[in-house]
A = this chain, B = another copy of it.
Amino acid sequence: MNTFLSLAAARCSVRSYTDRTVEPKKIEHCLEAARLAPSACNAQPWKFIAVTNPELKNEIAAYTFDPLLSFNRFTHTAPVLIVIVTEKPLIVAQIGAALKNRDFNLIDVGIAAEHICLAAADEGLGTCMIGWFNERAVKKLLHIPSRKRIGLLITLGYPAEGYARPKVRKSKNDVISFNQY
């Protein structure tokens, strides 16, 4: 990549994958990028589970699909799923979150998840963050303690041809201002 801005422009949500295996080294790079992510009070309130076993991955993918709403029909095409589990933050972050009514854990999940997606894009891989899934069932499959929460799932793999759609974003005037709202 040349600049971060070019990487941010190139990254897009990929909803169709080839069956090419993702090299373990590349999966490790994505997880390492997540491990290095910043978090409130440096609490690092997370664990990252890479699901590479094809049967297990397909079972989880099935739990992201909602036939009624027709959500996430593509997830089984991704060869890897990454599951972000949120862990209890530090006491100081918990108190701050309560006093300020701001759940820093979810902000931290977003940061770490995007590190994974950006590292993947930099490796020529595609990703898509998945927020709709049967949390209880996925926790059971991965032996995640029932009191824990899953923050997000992320699909990971080589994008199928023609996956890229033009990025649709609000205009600068709609989202950026200086010195006042």
By a beta-carbon cutoff of 8 Å, the part of chain A in contact with chain B is 1, 3-5, 7-9, 11-13, 29, 31-38, 40, 42, 44, 46-53, 56, 85, 96, 100, 102-104, 106-111, 113-115, 117-119, 121-122, 129, 131-133, 135, 142-145, 148, 151-152, 167-170, 172, 174-181
Contact = CB atoms under 8 A, between A and B. Distances in A.
Contact of A35 (B53, B102, B110, B176): B176
Given A3-B122, A176-B48, A38 B129 contact: yes
A10 to B, nearest CB: 10
B52 A36 contact: no
A109 B102 CA distance: 11
Contacts of A115: 8, 114
Nearest to A133: B100
A49 B151 contact: no
Given A38-B117, A44-B170, 10 more contacts: A4-B7, A5-B29, A11-B38, A49-B178, A50-B179, A51-B179, A100-B132, A107-B113, A110-B111, A142-B181
